[in-house]
Amino acid sequence: MTYADKDQLIADYIPGAKSTNEIAAVERILEGVSAFVDSYCRRPSGYFSPSPDEPTMKRVRGEGHHFLRLPIHVFGSVTEVRTSYGALIKPENYYESEKNGWLYATEDGIYPEASFDLCSPDTWADGQIFKVTAR
């Protein structure tokens, strides 16, 4: 698994690489650099693979803070947040931090109109499961 596209790399930066040997050398270099990145970062092979094109749903447990820690995802790709009961949390009630990708409750809180107390106006309920869809 390489972390760069060989053909795009050649087209953009090494347009003179035309022979089979040169193209094979570029491919070997990409494989070596990708393996080094995995080793240096102490991650399993393919950890830094490109994100999928389609968003997937992950379950995230609230910790009772004004933020919800999300797993690794593409920043800005959060398309939906729901409670474990299926209630949609409106996008105007949270925002994603550019710094760490976590979701933060807005001043209005997560459930301003809720009659049940899953979380207080400025926190993601401790132990509550939230379903977050993102890439």
Q: What is the pLDDT of residue 43?
A: 83
Higher pLDDT, 49 or 82: 82
Taking the CA atoms of residue 26, residue 27, residue 30 and residue 31 in that order, the dihedral angle to the nearest 10 degrees is -150
CB of 67 within 8 A of CB of 124?
yes
Q: What is the pLDDT of residue 19?
A: 94
Contacts of 33 (CB under 8 A, 6+ apart): 2, 3, 4
pTM of the model: 0.59
Q: With pLDDT > 70 as the criterion, what percentage of the chain qualifies?
A: 86
For the residues 33-58, what does the mean pLDDT come to?
A: 83
88 forms beta bridges with 82
Count of other CB atoms within 10 angstroms of residue 39: 10
Per-residue model confidence as pLDDT tens digits over 71-125: 888 888 999 999 888 889 888 888 899 888 899 888 665 544 443 344 444 468 8
